[in-house]
Structure 1
């Protein structure tokens, strides 16, 4: 009996312990963050609010991973009492009542981890800016698709065929379009140097206007403003497949020597790439649309994958400050991957400290 009672005591569900509270601030997020030490074996936690008469009001249920609850219905200077109940099957164990007074403060300590990450990223960012301003050489790994831009323009020139630049379907406010305009300026400058016709059909009027200004500036910088023709950058259609059909017709009739597919694409991506392949054009594609990348990889000569398109400006210009920002982002991404891997390992073996650190 004694041995059985000892085993039963070991298996008994313990109530949550070390309950503590922190004041959270914000225009819409002010409240009390209640945290507690996990109960071994607990599957769920029920949180209750206790009034002055000792009556309990159910607030919420969290699973065994989340040992915290945020209570929003608070008033400055008022005290609140909470009870946390650990649950396992039909068994429950309540904590002792915990009372905290809500006092608004300037800092939300529950988001301290966000501040630390921001400080860390800023430190890395400004360190690389300092390196760039000191003139210390920095480089980005070779990106084949960007290296071949000039060769593609040169091949179109040798063949006596025009260059076709396709933005995709994103608007001027979207990042892929902005990145594509940077590459377009570089291509426009080379096209002006080689006196090669550059065609840019558009499905958005604002993208068309931006493209006209970018190419006009590129031709001026190349010393050939006389070759700029505004009619070569034109509006086609805002409809997806009407635009795709028109662009494919242009590629076939003009027998494009080089096709650049840079921007954000949808189902029309393979239509563009197949037609470009059929007319014998050298094709360079780039997009952040992951579901369209396989089609570009299969049918284009070179493909910029995801953020390679965004790095184009720094890569093509060689500007030290732009390269510094790319370097800082890469370091922070590496640290993020390390934290994710460490968190997965820690969660697998039952260590919760990384999970708690990242929780807000």
Structure 2
């Protein structure tokens, strides 16, 4: 068994390293190219089109929005999904601070707490408003997914938010949060990767990003070249990978 797995594992590792290196080279080339020209275009994501507008509407009412990032953290299988949700916060932080309506951000894993607090603090610092920063706007609710969702739902129900944003690692328990928003008839914007979360969110909002659209949130909402270039590189690598698979299949058929 070990002799059989050894060569296969080595081939897999080599292929992964080659793809990773190719992706890194593509991202660097695209960033360098982007400095001399327009940013690469990306298709619109309805889930995020009105995100910054919701912050503006909250400012008009003297209220704020709620962002739920789920129960994922930085040290588990949901790390990538949690980082994608963090990019949504990054996109909104400067706008929210400019309007003086910092969002209420709830998390279900303590590893996200200091990272998001620092992100919000730096947004205040960039605006010269560091004295107004309140670390309590970022809240660790509970480590259990259901307990977290119940606590986040209470924020939506009781704290006068004008919009509910859900982006990160969730399961079916996300319906507790969106039901609280639906009872108050709030605009709800959501992004999730897990099938159970998508199934729970689909009946609630038509502004829903699913699967890889969640990972495009940073590129779409921030417009930063590093995220845009990463998306373009992923698309190119995906096409190359499909062509390689098709080529291998053709060779196998002809050889057989």
Alignment TM-score, normalising by the size of structure 2: 0.81
For each residue in 1:276-297, what CA deviation from the matched residue of structure 2 results, as whole angstroms up to 9, or x when unmatched? Answer: 1211221111122133213223
Measured in 2, the distance between the counterparts of 1:312 and 1:127 equals 22
Equivalent position of 1:351 in the other structure: 253
Is 1:235 matched with 2:166? no
Matched, 1:183 2:88: yes
The aligned counterpart of 1:285 is 190
Quote the residue 1:316 is aligned against: 221
Task: Note the C-alpha offset of 1:246.
Answer: 1.7
In structure 2, relative to structure 1, the CA distance for the partners of 1:301 and 1:158 (3 Å cut) is farther
| Cα distance, 1:299 vs structure 2 | 0.8
Match status 1:166 vs 2:75: no
C-alpha contact (below 8 Å) 2:70/2:148 kept by paired residues = no
Q: 1:256 aligns with which of 152, 161, 165?
A: 161
Residues 164, 126 of structure 1: alpha-carbon distance in 2 compared, 3 angstrom cutoff: closer
TM-score under structure 1 length normalisation? 0.60
Instruction: Determine the C-alpha separation between the residues in 1 that align with 2:28 and 2:5.
Output: 38
**Rounded Cα–Cα distance in structure 2 between residues aligned with 1:267 and 1:116:** 35
1:230 Cα shift?
1.3
Q: Residues 262 and 163 from structure 1, CA distance in 2 versus in 1: closer, same or farther, beyond 3 angstroms?
A: same
> Which stretches of structure 1, 4 residues or longer, exceed 6 Å deviation after superposition?
none
Q: In structure 2, what is the equivalent of residue 214 of structure 1?
A: 119
Gap regions ≥5 residues in structure 1: 1-27, 32-69, 73-107
**Higher mean C-alpha deviation, range 282-291 or range 257-266:** 282-291
- The residue that corresponds to 1:203 in the other structure is 108
- Give the alignment partner of residue 141 of structure 1, picking from 37, 40, 43: 43
Distance between the aligned counterparts of 2:5 and 2:60, measured in 1?
Answer: 70
- In the alignment, is residue 334 of structure 1 matched against residue 239 of structure 2? yes
Distance 1:141 1:149 in 2: 16
Considering Cα pairs closer than 8 Å and 6+ residues apart, tell me whether 1 or 2 has the greater RCO: 2
More helix by share: 2
Query: For 1:262, what is the secondary structure of its paired residue?
Result: strand
How far is 1:170 from its partner? Answer: 0.3
Question: How many Å apart are 1:184 and its aligned residue?
Answer: 0.7
Q: Secondary structure at the match of 1:304?
A: strand
Post-superposition offset of 1:260: 1.1
Query: Partner of 1:247 in structure 2?
Result: 152
2:52 paired with 1:132: no
Considering only CA atoms, is the larger Rg found in Structure 1 or Structure 2? 1
For structure 2, the 5+ residue unaligned runs are: none
- Return the offset for 1:137: 4.1
Q: Return the alpha-carbon distance in structure 2 between the equivalents of residues 190 and 120 of structure 1.
A: 35
Q: CA deviation at 1:242?
A: 2.0
In structure 2, do the counterparts of structure 1 residues 71 and 155 end up closer, same or farther at CA, with 3 Å as the change threshold? closer
SS in 2 for 1:292: helix
Change (3 A) 1:253 1:71: closer
Per-residue CA shift, 1:210-255, capped at 9, x if unaligned? 1111111122223433332112222222122222222212211113
Deviates more, 1:262-271 or 1:115-124: 115-124
Q: Given that residues 156 and 163 in structure 1 are in contact (C-alpha distance below 8 angstroms), is that contact kept between their aligned partners in structure 2? A: yes
Answer whether contact 1:192 1:227 (CA < 8 A) is retained: no
Shift, 1:121, TM fit? 5.5
